[in-house]
Amino acid sequence: MSVAAHTPVQCGIVPPQLLVRVARQGDPRFAGAAAAARDSLLCDEAFRDTRRAAPVQHLDQGLHRPGAAPRSVWNARGSELLPGIQARTEGTPPTPDAAVNEVYDGLGSARVLLWNAFHRDSLDDHGMPLRATVHFASHYDNAVWDGSRFVFGDGDGQVFARFTRSLSALGHEFGHALVQQTADLDYLGQSGALHESLADVFGSLVDQYAHGHSAAQATWLIGEGLFIDELDAHAIRSLKAPGTAYNDDVLGKDPQPSSMADYVETDDDNGGVHLNSGIPNRAFFLVATWLGGNAWEAPGQIWYNTLTAGTLAPCVDFTGFARATTRTASSMFGEGSTEHTAVAAAWREVGVVA
């Protein structure tokens, strides 16, 4: 593997292999999308280089009401210069720019979930301000947590729509930021796939909480609404059925495995972090649906408490995380409880533990 442990990495919602697939598209109808995908890959590489050079710095908290960390949204106006021009700050009214308002409202939904469900005051539990930039670059095909702010592209209009349209996509990037502020898992191999999975879990929880959906009502899709309607694509990923989010001539077929039987061994994408995350994703879905009710309650509490307990090694693998969540369930609800049994059974179902 080429990426060393603890090297800061850019965390985007679109897997690089999907952008590569679009970039190689030979259909002249999608020439613009192919060019945009190539440019987006270069932008992602620039994000990675920037984060290697500049360690993450905590932001000044300032005064705020607990659970209501201040939000600010900036407009890059198609440039690659961050942060851009300030477009909206905490407490100000909506603007004519839909992307600005979508991000402002989405960050509000994410901070409300953290406070109401987990009694956590923003990402760092100390009211860390939430900053985002929209309209980044020209036709940028991604949404990114760059270590200090959330960055959203407008998409190419032929394959990807604007990335602020999807609350689960914003929640996914919020999840990456939360992992960084807590367990700070290595973005490599199985620990990297857990990083991606935890981002998907919290992205789905943000969406479910905002819409008041129970585990049974939820779509369990990440990035729903990011593809244009003409494509045979529901979302970027599915926690319910990894490998079924899209199947289209332009995009190919969703390659995510749903169990260890189909685990992908690869050096690409930091060891397949976007692919193999489907395995722990499905484990969480199974726990949530077996228990019923709201996924942010018992299942979300188990995953959150495991993430924030301070006991996870940065290089934890699937087996280590499975054991940790099972121990958490036992500690919270009792050995042999319904919750403990469901967690253990879910990890067996996806083949992580025997």
Look at strands 71-75 and 85-89 and give their pairing.
antiparallel
Q: What is the pLDDT of residue 29?
A: 86
Q: What is the pLDDT of residue 58?
A: 45
Grouping H, G, I as helix, E, B as strand and the rest as coil, residue 127 is: coil
Q: Which of 333, 214, 338, 190 is nearest to 285 (CA)?
A: 214
Amino acid in the structure at residue 69: A
Q: Which residues, other chains included, contact 210 with Cβ-Cβ below 8 Å and sequence gap of 6+?
A: 109, 112, 113, 167
pTM of the predicted model over 0.75: yes
**Domain extents in the chain:** 11-181, 189-349
Other CB atoms closer than 10 Å to residue 60's CB: what's the count? 7
Question: Are the C-beta atoms of 284 and 322 separated by less than 8 Å?
Answer: no
Q: What is the pLDDT of residue 45?
A: 81
Catalytic residue among 135, 172, 195, 274: 274
- 265 a catalytic residue: no
Q: Digits of tens for pLDDT over the chain (354 positions)?
A: 333 334 445 688 999 999 999 999 888 888 999 999 999 989 888 776 654 434 444 444 456 788 899 999 999 999 999 999 999 999 999 999 999 999 999 999 999 999 999 999 999 999 999 999 999 999 999 999 999 999 999 999 999 999 999 999 999 999 999 999 999 999 999 999 999 999 999 999 999 999 999 999 999 999 999 999 999 999 999 999 999 999 999 999 999 999 999 999 999 999 999 999 999 999 999 999 999 999 999 999 999 999 999 999 999 999 999 999 999 999 999 999 999 999 999 999 999 998
Task: Name the class of domain 11-181.
Answer: alpha beta
Q: What is the pLDDT of residue 64?
A: 72
Q: How is domain 189-349 classified at the architecture level of CATH?
A: Orthogonal Bundle (1.10)
Question: Are the C-beta atoms of 19 and 41 separated by less than 8 Å?
Answer: yes
- 119 a catalytic residue: no
Element (H, E) at 98: helix 98-118
Catalytic residue among 173, 196, 224, 339: 173
Beta-bridged to residue 75, according to DSSP, are 85, 134
Other CB atoms closer than 10 Å to residue 58's CB: what's the count? 12
